[in-house]
Amino acid sequence: MGDLTNWYVRLNRSRLKGTDGEDSALTSLAVLYDVLLKMTVIMAPFTPFFAEYLYQHLRKRLLTSNTANLPEDAIGKADSVHYIMLPLAGNPKADGKVLVGMSLLQQVVELGRRAREAATISMKTPVKRVIIVCDSALTLDGLRGELESYVLEELNTWEIVLTSDVETWCSISALPNLPILAKRLGKQVRSAADAIKGLDSASLRSFSRTGSIMICVDGKLLHFSKGDLIVKSAFSGDSTRYIATSSSDGGLTVAVCTVQDDALRRQGITRDFCNRVNKLRKKRKLNIADQVDIFYAESAPLDNISTTRALACNSNLLNRARIYPVDFSSCRGQILISDKYASPGGSNNLSIALAVPAPSLAPATKKKFAGYVALETLLATCDLSNSKIHGSLENNPFELKLGIDIFPSACSARSLGKGILAP
């Protein structure tokens, strides 16, 4: 279940929500559904009542036409999960290349996170580059293509570099596993230890791949396998710019660039801002389709990495959010929820508020209808999906054009309907 929740669901959140298109969403949901349905069968002997509860709810989603030709004890058609035989281990439909690529992806992400943690770089803060070093070019090929985008997202990096040039980036060494070798070699263990320490990098990398090596000890060739040698890989690149972690066998090394500039910090501020807004939406139990105006105000910002400048430089990450840079104490619309926090690398005091969008009149329109206080009240009850609004006030007819005379929210009025924050 760990691979399902921690990897499949998390990596495919956007697909599951339909961001990548309807076909992609249906495919990802079908895979998730199939796995959950089969999981109920596996769980049944250990959690019989809970498994039955899940099974009965899941099978309702199956079309009768899809199960008509299936045997009575088939998954989905059986009246109870306890009527279904446990599935056989192994999957003949599994794509070996995909499995290898996914395994490598998991290793890369875990090593990259450890490197970021060692460098005390938050996951919300992007890094300029991640270098993935592997002694097998064929193995690296499994990461190319679609899986590269997952690495970029999971490690929050602008660029990834895949290389098999291990000699440039890594040094490798080996130590004898003395407790094991002493039992097998006896007095020869000292000579064997010296021979192991003297192995060159080519021999050690061959050993890492094959798990077997012949070493001359006191004039005799002796066979050593995994467990006899402790192989260590060390990053030999520029330690002032990179921090790296390696797999236990030394075959994979992930180096994270630690150099930060204002552009990276601004993107980090933007991502943190979006994360805060999403948490507020979740806390207020808003649906994903609910439109809100986002107001914010900051104090003591740095000139080049202020929140306003950060959001302006990373508008592509805002998903056309309606953001209004003004203290929400003066905003229009009903305040739903608000929060104050310190933005990492930015403002020490940042206030955010989510509000129900309220119609706003253009300054020229306000001047034209000065004294008609009831107009804005009327607008609050109007359907603003049309391009024009007709009406009358005190027997005086009027026509208001959306985007010129009237705006659906204060944010859209400030940004002239573009859905992007004001400078």
Same domain, 237 and 269: no
Give the whole-angstrom CA distance, residue 264 versus residue 310.
Answer: 10
- Quick one: residue 287, left, alpha or beta (phi over 0 = left, psi -120 to 50 = alpha)? beta
Domain boundary among 237, 260, 283: 260
Query: Which DSSP string corresponds to 192-236?
Result: HHHHHHT--HHHHHHHHHHSEEEEEETTEEEEEEBTTEEEEEEE-
What's the pLDDT at 320?
A: 65
Domain boundary among 83, 102, 129: 83
Same domain, 30 and 125: no
Residue 69 lies in a domain: yes
Given a cut of 70, is residue 125 above it in pLDDT?
yes
Given a cut of 80, is residue 304 above it in pLDDT?
no
Same domain, 272 and 249: no
Cβ contacts of residue 146 below 8 Å, gap of 6+? Answer: none
Same domain, 289 and 348: yes
What's the pLDDT at 421?
A: 35
Burial (Cβ within 10 Å: 0-12, 13-18, ≥19) of residue 158: middle
What is the H or E stretch that residue 169 is in? helix 166-169
Structure token digits, residue 101: 């690529």
Give the whole-angstrom CA distance, residue 293 versus residue 324.
Answer: 7
Residue 61 lies in a domain: yes
Nearest to 114 by CA among 246, 14, 7: 246
Give the whole-angstrom CA distance, residue 405 versus residue 412.
Answer: 12
Residue 95 lies in a domain: yes
Domain boundary among 210, 237, 260: 260
Q: Which of 185-194, 291-300, 411-420 is the most confident on average? A: 185-194
What's the pLDDT at 52?
A: 93
> What 3-state DSSP class applies to 365?
helix
Same domain, 210 and 291: no
Nearest to 39 by CA among 60, 53, 18: 53
- CATH for 14: 1.10.730.10
For the stretch 366-379, pLDDT in tens is: 777 765 556 666 66
For the stretch 205-228, pLDDT in tens is: 788 778 888 888 888 888 888 888
Domain count, the chain: 4
What's the pLDDT at 410?
A: 56
Global pTM? 0.69
Buried b (16+ CB within 10 A) or exposed e, 229-239: bebebebebee
Same domain, 58 and 131: no
Residue 422 lies in a domain: no
> What 3-state DSSP class applies to 391?
strand
**Residues of the domain holding 194:** 90-260
Residue 227 lies in a domain: yes
Place 296 in a pLDDT band, splitting at 50, 70 and 90. Answer: confident
* Residue 231 near residue 172, CB atoms below 8 Å: yes
Residue 343 carries which DSSP code? P
Mean pLDDT throughout 239-256? 85
Given a cut of 90, is residue 324 above it in pLDDT?
no
Same domain, 280 and 248: no
Place 67 in a pLDDT band, splitting at 50, 70 and 90. Answer: low
Same domain, 134 and 241: yes
Place 305 in a pLDDT band, splitting at 50, 70 and 90. Answer: confident
Same domain, 139 and 11: no
Residue 412 lies in a domain: no
Same domain, 209 and 158: yes
* Residue 258 near residue 127, CB atoms below 8 Å: yes
Same domain, 119 and 240: yes
